[in-house]
Chain A
């Protein structure tokens, strides 16, 4: 028997199932909580910190994507404090790498860009770190641009949990963290990659894209990720 719990989200009482996360319950009831690293069908990691919400009785803000609902919980999805935290998180994402929308294939179809516009990020208050990062063009059909990567780990989880290949992972630590395929091998030489293209579709920014598209031309379709097999080699 599934245990039912009642929670209050932005004042509205909602019936949920025990074990669901706040974010799942909110989205199922058309309450909006922004998120970048969360993707339906993947495990949650709480990496992007955009889904932070206020929970009654908890002094700090908690990520909605990893916090399970509890009976009698009262959740607030938006306050001036939460909005300011989300804005800071977005600005830090922009400051960390070289996100130049004007020359990006995903401009106009980018989740990071969309969230920045939505939160009124007109400029970044922190100094850009402008790291020197490579672009991996070794794969025949796809390209990985580390400059646009926000380390949300959606490609990592998509590849590991849906495709089952686990080509990607995050290596290093702190500011030096970066995406790697296998043992730091170029993508085109990765022996476990099936070339299914799921990671490309799961990527929220222009970090992963199909080759052959110019600025603003790369549109992605998250919903097809679970079925995307047609691009695999040999099929």
Chain B
């Protein structure tokens, strides 16, 4: 296959890993989702590098455009390296009315992040890859509004000061 020669392949150990993940899921309809999920979990920076997507397409026979379509459709998948700590701020209606925009702005200010991305989905990572701040449409915990998820732990009724303290604590831990 002449195409295979031209493309940028992932490192050999990554290739082995991808082959193993594909082997586990082989032949199942809708296997692509599971493969991508496992692949992202195994990645150190919790994202899907382009080379890996290309290799998955090559190995599974799924067209590249379809792999890319799936990877960009689901909010679960990241195409950029993620920070060590994740702060996910809910931007649902209930949380919005309880001031989640102020929380988001405050955290962005604290970590020195600039606005980018579309209005409905925002993912920002600090240059040192210590923190990723992202918005979420809804956690389904509207009674606890405003909700913030820090490293996969849900916090309810979050106040600005409390959030700043939490993030500061993580930052100090990361610095140590």
A174 adjacent to chain B (CB < 8 Å): yes
A191 to B2, CA, bound (A): 10
Chain B's closest residue to A167 (CB) is B65
Q: A170 and B6: CB pair below 8 A?
A: no
- A47 to B: closest C-beta gap in Å: 14
Q: Is A192 an interface residue (CB 8 A)?
A: yes
A168 / chain B contacts, CB cutoff of 8 Å: 65
| Bound-complex Cα distance A210 to B22 (A) | 39
Whether B53 sits at the interface, judged by CB under 8 Å, is yes
| Chain A interface category by residue count | 20 to 34
Q: Which residues of B contact A192 (CB under 8 A)?
A: 3, 63-64
- B120 x A174 contact (CB < 8 A): yes
Q: Which residue of the partner chain, among A167, A170, A175, contacts B69 with CB atoms under 8 Å?
A: A170
Instruction: Determine whether A140 belongs to the interface, using a CB cutoff of 8 Å to chain B.
Output: no
- Give Cα A137 to B56, complex, Å: 28
CB contacts (< 8 Å) of B97 on chain A: these are none
* A169-184 to B contact mask, C-beta < 8 Å, 1/0: 1111111100011111
Q: Which A residues are in CB contact (< 8 Å) with B6? A: 191
In this assembly, does A160 line the interface, its C-beta being within 8 Å of a C-beta of chain B? yes
B68 touches A169 (CB 8 A): yes
Q: Report B115 CB to chain A, min CB distance, Å.
A: 16
Q: Does A97 belong to the interface (CB within 8 Å)? A: no
Q: Hey, which chain A residues are within 8 Å of B65, CB to CB?
A: 156, 166-169, 171, 180-183
CB distance from A152 to the nearest CB of B (A): 15
Chain A residues with Cβ below 8 Å from B57 are: 183
Distance in angstroms from A22 CB to nearest chain B CB is 28
B118 close to A (CB within 8 Å): yes
Chain A residue nearest in CB terms to B62: A166
Within 8 A of B (CB), among A157-210: 160, 165-176, 180-184, 191-192
Q: Are A172 and B63 touching (Cβ within 8 A)?
A: no
B67 within 8 A of A: yes
The CA of A115 and the CA of B6, in the complex, are separated in Å by 44
Residue B66 at the chain A interface, CB threshold 8 Å:
yes
Chain A interface (Cβ < 8 Å from any Cβ of B): 156, 160, 165-176, 180-184, 191-192
Could you jot down 10 A-B contacts, CB within 8 Å? A160-B63, A165-B63, A166-B63, A169-B66, A173-B73, A176-B120, A183-B53, A183-B54, A184-B68, A192-B64
